[in-house]
Amino acid sequence: QIEKSSERERASQTPYKSADRARFLIDTFGCENVFVEIQRHFIRGEERANRELIDLARGYRLSLLATNGVKYAKPYGREVLDVFTCIREHTHLDAAGKL
């Protein structure tokens, strides 16, 4: 439930905000060190968002990075992810429940 709100936020982000963020990152780290990440989880609006991100990458000549949003490499990493997610969402593990 917590992660889904972040996915919806990502899919609904306006191109203007993405372009501003890209410009800031390019100015800070250089074009060769900035990548545009796209993911496919089959949620509403995601394909549109991915097309916009691909256009953004092309416009700024940035490399694309296709991931599925891996959050941890080993099963025990899930506990750490849950803690960080709760911190981000200003809640605690008992209130968040299991995903």
43 and 76 together in one domain: no
β-bridge partners, 66: 38
* Cα–Cα dist 19/73, whole Å: 30
Residues 28-68 have pLDDT tens digits of 999 999 999 999 888 888 999 999 999 999 999 999 999 88
Q: Give tens-digit pLDDT for 4-14.
A: 445 555 555 56
Looking at the 3D structure of the chain, how many domains does it have?
2
**Domain match, 54 and 79 both:** no
Judge if 52 and 83 occupy the same domain.
no
78 in the same domain as 45: no
User: Has this prediction a pTM greater than 0.75?
Assistant: no
At 79, the pLDDT band (50, 70, 90 cuts) reads confident
pLDDT at 1 over 80: no
> Do 31 and 64 lie in a common domain?
yes
Rounded to whole angstroms, how far apart are CA atoms 10 and 41? 12
Residue 47 identity (one-letter amino acid): E
Domain that holds residue 21: 2-68
Same domain, 13 and 42: yes
Residues 49 and 75 in one domain: no
Question: Is the domain of 48 the same as that of 92?
Answer: no
